[in-house]
Structure 1
Amino acid sequence: MNIAQVSSRFRLPARTSCYDENADLVHPQRKANGYRRFRRERFLGVIRNNI
């Protein structure tokens, strides 16, 4: 999932994904074009651990 998909699916601001990456909570893969790809399972784990 990219940032827009994460934001839409979990109803979070896009900045939340960037914050989580900067805080070293998630480690998205980078595509050849530089876009981040978040794994749904890992992002769910971060959300569950912070609620």
Structure 2
Amino acid sequence: ADVQAVLAAQFMPTDSFRIPFTVTFVQTATKLVVFDSGNGIVPLR
């Protein structure tokens, strides 16, 4: 409910929410390496 209220206050749709991020893959000779950028810093409440 809190998320929906924030989305509505920002005139954003309240029935879905996208969190865009990019994951980078590097194929080496023997391994597939994944760099997960995460979602940034989330402040604690």
Compute the TM-score of the two structures, normalised by the length of structure 1. 0.28
Compute the TM-score of the two structures, normalised by the length of structure 2. 0.30
More helix by share: 1
Larger radius of gyration: 2
Q: Greater relative contact order (Cα 8 A, min sep 6): structure 1 or 2?
A: 1
